[in-house]
């Protein structure tokens, strides 16, 4: 990756450090926030590593959550404090902790450990400092407020940057991996939760700002574009659930559900995809069984109940 191919955009005291292809995975769109007293970098992605020779002094690192693509640049600032939500601290403290967040089977965990170190520059930080919902970082005439938005991970947090008089036209809400993409919400890890994700989507909907920024794909949106994207993003959850109900018109096993693919495209084959499908659809099944819309015919067989 060449620094020359990467774009920056300034909005008030915020510089958006766009990654390759608009922050497409494995890269992402990081934020540099300058106040009168301090400068903070948020979610330093692979693009921040490529830019390291021209970035200013950074006084602290803030991470929206602990996933491999949000932390590649953390190691560049090992001499300043790192901050994350208390619920995700385990992943920063050790590589074992990070693996706990993913919850992969042993045959997948071993190569994934290597990838996190070699590709994403994972470095443990046993003394990571933690924040919680509502905490505020005062950079001097610029503040960053923590908005806990779990679901993607237990500690996933949006970060609201505010400056000037603090009106809506001087606010930017960084959404992290509420990325508003056409793929839809990702809740396929051991530390993901579907119901939490839905509540978090409603929470960010209620926050007024001039700009909304995602780590992947979409980038910067104004309020109308944000609302439209959020509607489509949230609808993916019910689309997946409706498709699952239709598939269960006949009795199906979990293996059949996983093979059919409801999160990823049919035919998508990497082994990690199967783990995500099984975990994500398991959450939907739990809800549908609990709500009486699906019946469990045995330990691993399900059928939709007839409506009416």
* Fold topology of 3-233: Metallo-beta-lactamase; Chain A (3.60.15)
Long-range pairs for 46-50: beta carbons < 8 A, 24 or more residues apart: 46/1, 46/19, 46/20, 46/72, 46/73, 46/120, 47/1, 47/6, 47/17, 47/18, 47/19, 47/20, 47/23, 48/17, 48/72, 48/73, 48/76, 49/73, 49/76, 49/121, 50/1, 50/2, 50/3, 50/6
pTM of the model: 0.96
Whole-angstrom distance, CA of residue 28 vs CA of residue 17 = 8
Residue 301 has a pLDDT of 95
Residue 1 has a pLDDT of 58
The 10s digit of each residue's pLDDT in 116-159 is 999 999 999 999 999 999 999 999 999 999 999 999 999 999 99
Nearest to 289 by CA among 196, 298, 197, 193: 298
pLDDT exceeds cutoff 80 at 270: no
Residue 4 has a pLDDT of 61
End-to-end CA, the chain:
57
The 10s digit of each residue's pLDDT in 41-84 is 999 999 999 999 999 999 999 999 999 999 999 999 999 999 99
Whole-angstrom distance, CA of residue 164 vs CA of residue 142 = 7
Which H or E run includes 303? strand 301-304
């Amino acid at each position: 990756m060449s620094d020359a191919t990467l774009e920056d955009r300034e909005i008030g005291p915020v510089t958006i450090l766009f990654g390759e292809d608009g922050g497409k995975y494995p890269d992402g769109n990081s934020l540099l926030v300058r106040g009168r007293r301090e400068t903070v970098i948020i979610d330093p992605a692979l693009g921040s590593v490529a830019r390291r020779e021209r970035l200013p002094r950074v006084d602290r690192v803030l991470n929206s959550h602990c996933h491999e693509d949000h932390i590649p640049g953390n190691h560049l600032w090992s001499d300043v404090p790192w901050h994350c939500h208390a619920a995700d601290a385990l992943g920063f403290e050790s590589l074992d902790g990070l693996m706990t967040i993913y919850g992969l089977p042993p045959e997948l965990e071993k190569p994934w450990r290597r990838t996190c170190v070699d590709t994403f520059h994972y470095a443990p930080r046993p003394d990571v400092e933690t924040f919680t919902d509502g905490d505020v970082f005062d950079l001097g005439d610029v503040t960053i407020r923590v908005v806990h938005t779990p679901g993607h991970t237990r500690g996933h947090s949006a970060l609201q940057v505010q400056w000037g008089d603090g009106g809506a036209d001087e606010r930017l809400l960084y959404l992290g991996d509420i990325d508003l993409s056409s793929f839809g919400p990702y809740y396929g890890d051991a530390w993901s939760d579907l119901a939490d994700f839905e509540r978090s989507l409603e929470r960010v909907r209620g926050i007024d700002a001039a700009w909304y920024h995602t780590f992947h794909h979409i980038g910067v949106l104004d309020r109308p574009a944000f609302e439209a994207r959020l509607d489509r993003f949230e609808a993916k959850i019910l689309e997946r659930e409706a498709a699952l109900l239709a598939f269960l018109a006949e009795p199906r096993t979990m293996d059949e559900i996983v093979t059919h693919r409801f999160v990823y495209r049919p035919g998508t084959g990497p082994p990690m995809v199967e783990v995500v499908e099984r975990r994500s659809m398991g959450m939907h099944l739990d809800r549908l069984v609990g709500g009486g819309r699906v019946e469990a015919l045995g330990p691993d067989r399900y059928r939709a109940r007839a409506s009416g």
